[in-house]
Amino acid sequence: MLKRIFAIIILILFCLLVVNLTIFHYAVELSSMIYFIIVVFWLLFNLASRRKNRINPEDFLDFEVGYGKEKRNFSIPTKNFIGELTQNVTDNIISEDDLLKNAIENPKKKKKKKN
């Protein structure tokens, strides 16, 4: 919260400085130097923060998920990745005819309801 208040105060002072340079012309040389110093500091700190917060494609994991008849792609940061759940792969696929024959040969008994 303190940083936000400080930033608002700096912004107001910067606006007043620009108004002074454009309208009032009071101490133009001093105001110009202050304006120049503020711009240089902003450029330096902005470039430093951009380097610090640069996004590397290597920091993300790409995923593909089936969605209806399509597939959707998305990426998540590596630091947020815990694990991936996948379905079990079965090699022994049973045809519908075999399932029906098995169901007819081995019917399940219904449980009697207790009154």
Domain boundaries, the chain: 2-52, 57-105
pLDDT at position 109: 67
The helix or strand, by DSSP H or E, that contains position 11, with its residue range, turns out to be: helix 2-19
* Confidence tier at 73 by pLDDT (50, 70, 90): very high
Strand 60-67 to strand 70-77: parallel, antiparallel, or no bridges (unpaired)? antiparallel
Q: What sign for the dihedral angle of Cα 96, 97, 99, 103? A: positive
> What pLDDT is attached to residue 79?
85
Which residue, chain included where needed, has tokens 């470039």?
47
- Amino acid 110: pLDDT: 67
Give the whole-angstrom CA distance, residue 54 versus residue 115.
Answer: 71
For 12-41, what is the mean pLDDT?
Answer: 87
| Coil, strand or helix at 20 | helix
Report the share of the chain in percent with pLDDT over 70.
88
pLDDT (tens digit per residue) in 32-72: 888 888 888 888 887 777 766 677 777 888 988 888 889 99
Residue with tokens 């640069």: 54
